[in-house]
């Protein structure tokens, strides 16, 4: 157990004060609720992690990563306050070991979904789970996203190709492991060419990853997204086509946004509108704006505001806070 290469410890502490509103997960047509106070993750969910790399020679590397989400407002491990989505395991953000070489990278464990990374790359508000309109509408967090899948898959095997002509293909497969349903698949093709990033992503979800309660599911989606750096302004666009085949529901979600410098800071604007058809119908419109003021490369002060028009009203949120990356 002699330690020949140093481990890295790292993470983000992001806390804000203000008002957060959303239609909570649970029964349909639940009223919008608001909480005033101190909130975790106004820009990014707080976490800490450790990782290591060992050079095995001939371009081969062994790598591992362990990352743990935390609610920095209470000190609790994981992302969600009960009641709500199931509680996270300790190493909820990542837990994998793998090999990297000329063949690409192969990882086993609790792996981040490539479709989620494609979303982050092509969203003006990146991984902001509270304000990014595409995150709020799509992901199964505290804001009643429509997808059963989470941002990662436990019990999974993940493969990323080497970059070829600016293109990387990533696939994540999660075995059903006795849940009595099919495997889950998640994948992306990400192409980078100068100022352009183009991403095609998709998933088939046939069971809900542990530790969520199991149940028969058949969800599929495809997302096409891009960002384009105009030097001053960067533009972002996504289109997601989602089907819940058992529930006979389709949801189509265009999502656009931009980031622009203002002095040393950055303004973020984003909008998404999900239209549901099939066994249910409806429209959800989410608009957010943010300003990040850097105190350093690692530390920013920020202001975030957003509205989220759902079936029972409009959830209005605004927070100001600090994100510190360590």
Decide: 236 and 120 in contact? Cβ < 8 Å.
no
Residue 120, by phi and psi: left (phi above 0), alpha (psi -120 to 50) or beta?
alpha
Each residue 38-57 as x (binds its own copies by CB under 8 A) or -, in order, gives: x---------x-x-x-x-x-
Helix (H) / strand (E) element for 70: namely strand 60-71
Determine if 178 is a binding residue for its own copies (CB under 8 A). Answer: yes
Q: Whose CA is closest to 313, among 26, 32, 36?
A: 32
> Within positions 137 to 166, which residues make up the interface with its own copies, using CB under 8 A?
154-157
Q: Is 324 in the site for its own copies (CB under 8 A)?
A: yes
Give the chain's largest Cα–Cα span: 60
The residue from 9, 246, 248, 262 that contacts its own copies (CB under 8 A) is 9
Query: Could you tell me how far CA 326 lies from the centroid of its own chain?
Result: 20
Q: What is the number of residues in the chain?
A: 326
Nearer to its own copies, 311 or 325 (CB): 325
Q: For the segment 59-98, give every residue that binds its own copies (CB under 8 A).
A: 60, 62, 64, 66, 70-77, 81, 88-98
Listed residue (181, 183, 179, 157) closest to 170, CA to CA: 157
Cα 121 from chain centroid?
Answer: 10
Nearer to its own copies, 89 or 254 (CB): 89
Nearer to its own copies, 97 or 226 (CB): 97
Segment 182 to 221, residues that bind its own copies, using CB under 8 A: 210-211
Residue 157 or 235: the one with the smaller Cβ distance to its own copies is: 157
State which of residues 133, 187, 202, 321 lies at the interface with its own copies (CB under 8 A): 321
Cα 233 to Cα 66, 269, 272, 306, distances in angstroms? 35, 11, 19, 21
Measured in whole angstroms, how far is the alpha carbon of residue 217 from the centre of its chain?
21
**Closer residue to its own copies (CB): 49 or 225:** 49
**Count of residues near its own copies by CB under 8 A:** 70
* Residue whose pair of structure tokens reads 């959830």 in the numeric block: 315
Shortest distance, CB of residue 140 to its own copies, whole angstroms? Answer: 17
Sign of the four-CA dihedral 222, 25, 175, 210: positive
Binding-site ranges for its own copies (CB under 8 A): 1, 3-4, 7-10, 13-17, 33, 35-38, 48, 50, 52, 54, 56, 60, 62, 64, 66, 70-77, 81, 88-99, 108-110, 154-157, 174-178, 210-211, 295-296, 298-299, 321-322, 324-326
């Amino acid at each position: 157990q002699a330690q020949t290469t140093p481990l890295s410890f790292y993470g983000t502490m992001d806390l804000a004060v203000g008002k957060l509103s959303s239609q909570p997960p649970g029964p349909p047509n639940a009223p919008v609720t608001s909480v005033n106070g101190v909130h975790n993750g106004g820009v990014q969910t707080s976490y800490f992690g450790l990782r290591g790399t060992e050079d095995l020679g001939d371009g081969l590397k062994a790598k591992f990563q362990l990352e743990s989400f935390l609610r920095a407002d209470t000190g609790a491990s994981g992302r969600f306050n009960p009641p709500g989505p199931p509680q996270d395991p300790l190493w909820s953000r990542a837990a994998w070991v793998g090999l990297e070489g000329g063949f690409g990278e192969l990882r086993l464990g609790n792996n981040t979904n490539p479709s989620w990374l494609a979303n982050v790359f092509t969203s003006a508000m990146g991984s902001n789970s509270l304000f990014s309109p595409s995150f709020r509408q799509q992901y199964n967090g505290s804001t009643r996203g429509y997808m059963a899948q989470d941002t990662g898959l436990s019990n999974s095997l993940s493969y990323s190709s080497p970059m070829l002509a600016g293109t990387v293909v990533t696939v994540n497969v999660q075995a059903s492991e006795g849940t009595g349903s099919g495997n889950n698949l998640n994948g992306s093709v990400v192409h980078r060419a100068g100022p352009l990033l183009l991403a095609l992503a998709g998933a088939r979800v046939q069971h809900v990853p542990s530790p969520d309660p199991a149940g028969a599911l058949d969800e599929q989606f495809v997302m096409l997204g891009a960002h384009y750096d105009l030097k001053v302004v960067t533009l972002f666009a996504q289109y997601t086509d989602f089907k819940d085949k058992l529930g006979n529901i389709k949801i189509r979600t265009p999502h656009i946004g931009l980031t622009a410098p203002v002095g040393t800071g950055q303004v973020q604007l984003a909008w998404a509108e999900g239209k549901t058809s099939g066994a249910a119908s409806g429209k959800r419109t989410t608009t957010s704006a943010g300003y990040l003021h850097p105190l350093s490369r690692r530390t920013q002060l920020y202001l975030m505001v957003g509205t989220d028009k759902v079936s029972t009203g409009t959830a209005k949120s605004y927070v100001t806070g600090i994100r510190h990356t360590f």
